[in-house]
């Protein structure tokens, strides 16, 4: 058994697929073997370093250094990369070149391992999938809702500082910027260790496994539940309720739940769900109230009310980066009144038809 994953049979294929930073390329190839030693990393994240394991790690690091010397001699290539190395990559290189087992443990406890050391955004679809090119949304993309955004940012900043943070629900009109606000958290705070994990609806029943995966990592994770709504008989409702309330499994302190929804009542209720006024079973009314109160289990609820015409026009001007002349103003109103309505999303869609766009504001629709 090797503590670090082996190279491919063809080391040149390994090099070709690595996309390393500038510098001697083979060292970066072997650094990835350190990053992707998941079993070793999770053990060093959760357990003390014992003398025996320390000796084993030292032997494995010595073997990596010997392999590095052989690869450099056999394939004496110049730089393959053009970008600068990240702080995490630089730290891994120091461990490879002469670090100890304790320094390897410090590396994992500072930067994590594998995809968590390389990426800041993920999709959880019954397994963690990194997002190589996440949405670069910024709070400056949004118009209006100053109080809501300030409250959200203050809450997340406290979470990053290690303070207790309650689950957050952003609810309100479609296209008002709720999802953009959540994505902007990653853009703003990833340098401080925040990671964004969007949990797809079909994976809500895997929440205990997800929490177990994230708990030992050094990062702070926002679990992003987008466009949240349940039917009255949806079993995923109970999984989320347990996460928000507390259950046999505990939500780790490095995880914050942030959800968006177009409705305050997260469980779609039908008249057939309501008990008869004189129903003999009191528990039927308790069940109904339990479903209707799911949103109350979010400790912080921020409301995004619908846009009106002035706010819509303000958003168009903000995205275009210039005051609206009368022709553009009338065109923007016609665009909204064709059935799209007044919203931040409509403003962005209209702006995408104009030229030029405000620098840093990508054309196209934002979900929110």
Q: Could you tell me if 279 and 144 lie in one domain?
A: yes
- Between 105-109, 213-217, 237-241, 327-331, the lowest mean confidence (pLDDT) is in 237-241
Environment class of residue 257 by beta-carbon count within 10 Å: exposed (0-12), middle (13-18) or buried (19+)? buried
In this structure, how many other beta carbons lie within 10 angstroms of the beta carbon of residue 270?
8
Q: Could you tell me if 299 and 194 lie in one domain?
A: yes
Is the pTM higher than 0.75? The answer reads: yes
178-228 residue pLDDT tens: 999 999 999 999 999 999 999 998 898 888 899 999 999 999 999 999 988
C-beta of residue 137 within 8 angstroms of C-beta of residue 180: yes
Distance CA 186, CA 88 (A): 18
With cut-offs at 50, 70 and 90, classify the pLDDT of residue 70: very high
129-157 residue pLDDT tens: 999 999 999 998 888 888 999 999 999 99
Q: Could you tell me if 259 and 217 lie in one domain?
A: yes
What 3-state class would DSSP assign to 4? coil
Query: What are the distances in angstroms from CA 307 to CA 87, 145, 367?
Result: 43, 10, 15
Judge whether 102 lies within some domain: yes
Q: Could you tell me if 157 and 287 lie in one domain?
A: yes
Judge whether 190 lies within some domain: yes
Residue 28 has pLDDT above 80, yes or no: yes
Q: Could you tell me if 292 and 201 lie in one domain?
A: yes
Helices (H), 112-224: 114-118, 146-160, 178-189, 207-214
- Name, of 90-94, 140-144, 167-171, the range with top average pLDDT: 90-94
Closest CA to 221 of 213, 232, 231: 213
Judge whether 125 lies within some domain: no
Phi-psi region of 303 (alpha: psi -120 to 50; beta: other; left: phi over 0): beta
342-352 residue pLDDT tens: 888 888 889 88
Judge whether 366 lies within some domain: no
Cis peptide bond N-terminal to 288, omega within 30? no
Laid out side by side, the sheet with 194-199 consists of 128-130, 121-124, 194-199, 220-225, 255-261, 168-172, 300-304
Q: Could you tell me if 103 and 182 lie in one domain?
A: no
- Which residue did the predictor score with more confidence, 235 or 349? 349
CATH number at residue 219: 3.40.50.300
Domain count, the chain: 3
Judge whether 128 lies within some domain: no
100-131 residue pLDDT tens: 999 999 999 999 999 999 999 999 998 999 99
Q: Could you tell me if 346 and 251 lie in one domain?
A: no
Distance CA 267, CA 229 (A): 6
Question: Which range of residues forms the domain containing residue 284?
Answer: 139-304
DSSP letter assigned to residue 201: G
Residue 175 has pLDDT above 90, yes or no: no
- Between 22-26, 64-68, 226-230, 353-357, the lowest mean confidence (pLDDT) is in 353-357
Judge whether 132 lies within some domain: no
Residue 326 has pLDDT above 50, yes or no: yes
Would you state the torsion angle of the CA atoms of residues 127, 128, 129, 133, taken in this order, to the nearest 10 degrees? 150
Distance CA 135, CA 187 (A): 8
**DSSP states of 100-156 as a string?**
-HHHHHHHHHHH-SHHHHH-SEEEESSSEEE-SS-----GGG--S-HHHHHHHHHHH
Query: What are the distances in angstroms from CA 18 to CA 29, 131, 332?
Result: 6, 17, 47
| Residue where a domain terminates, one of 84, 118, 152 | 118
269-319 residue pLDDT tens: 544 444 455 555 554 434 444 555 666 778 899 998 888 898 889 888 988
Judge whether 332 lies within some domain: yes
Distance CA 258, CA 221 (A): 10
The pLDDT assigned to 344 comes to 83
Residue 241 has pLDDT above 80, yes or no: no
Judge whether 124 lies within some domain: no
Distance CA 258, CA 226 (A): 8
Q: Could you tell me if 248 and 317 lie in one domain?
A: no
In sequence order, which residues have a C-beta less than 8 Å from that of residue 322 and are 6 or more positions away?
Answer: none
The pLDDT assigned to 201 comes to 87
Q: Could you tell me if 153 and 290 lie in one domain?
A: yes
Q: Could you tell me if 165 and 80 lie in one domain?
A: no
Q: Could you tell me if 114 and 165 lie in one domain?
A: no
What 3-state class would DSSP assign to 230? strand
Q: Could you tell me if 177 and 59 lie in one domain?
A: no
């Amino acid at each position: 058994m090797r503590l670090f994953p082996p190279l491919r049979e063809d080391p040149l294929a390994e090099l070709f697929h690595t996309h390393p930073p500038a510098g001697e390329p083979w060292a970066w190839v072997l650094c990835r073997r350190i990053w992707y030693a998941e079993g070793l990393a999770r053990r060093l994240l959760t357990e003390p370093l014992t003398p025996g394991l320390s000796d084993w790690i030292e032997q494995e690091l010595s073997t990596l250094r010997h392999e590095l010397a052989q690869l450099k001699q056999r394939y004496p290539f110049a730089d393959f990369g053009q970008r600068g190395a990240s702080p995490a990559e630089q730290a891994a290189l120091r461990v490879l070149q002469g670090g100890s087992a304790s320094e390897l443990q410090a590396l994992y406890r500072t930067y994590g391992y594998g995809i968590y050391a390389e990426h800041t955004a993920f999709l959880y679809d019954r397994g963690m999938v990194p997002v190589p090119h996440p949405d670069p949304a910024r709070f400056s993309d949004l118009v209006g809702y100053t109080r809501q955004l300030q409250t959200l940012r203050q809450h997340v900043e406290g979470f990053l500082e290690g303070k207790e943070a309650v689950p957050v629900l952003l609810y309100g009109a479609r296209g008002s910027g709720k999802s953009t606000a959540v994505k902007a958290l990653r853009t703003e705070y990833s340098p401080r260790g925040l990671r964004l994990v969007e949990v797809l609806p079909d994976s809500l029943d895997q929440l205990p496994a997800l929490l177990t995966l994230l708990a030992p990592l050094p990062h702070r994770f926002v679990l992003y539940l987008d466009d949240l709504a349940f039917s009255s008989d949806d079993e995923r409702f109970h999984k989320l309720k347990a996460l928000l309330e507390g259950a046999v499994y505990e939500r780790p302190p490095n995880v914050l739940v942030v959800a968006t929804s177009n409705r305050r009542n997260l469980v779609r209720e039908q008249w057939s769900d309501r008990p008869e006024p004189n129903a003999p079973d009191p528990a039927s009314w308790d069940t109904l109230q339990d479903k209707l109160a799911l949103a109350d289990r979010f400790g912080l609820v921020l409301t995004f009310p619908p846009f009106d015409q002035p706010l819509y026009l303000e958003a168009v001007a903000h995205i275009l980066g210039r005051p609206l002349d009368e022709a553009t103003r009338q065109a923007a109103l016609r665009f909204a009144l064709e059935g799209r309505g007044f919203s931040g999303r409509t403003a962005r869609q209209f702006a995408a038809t104009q030229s030029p766009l405000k620098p840093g504001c990508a054309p196209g629709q934002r979900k929110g």
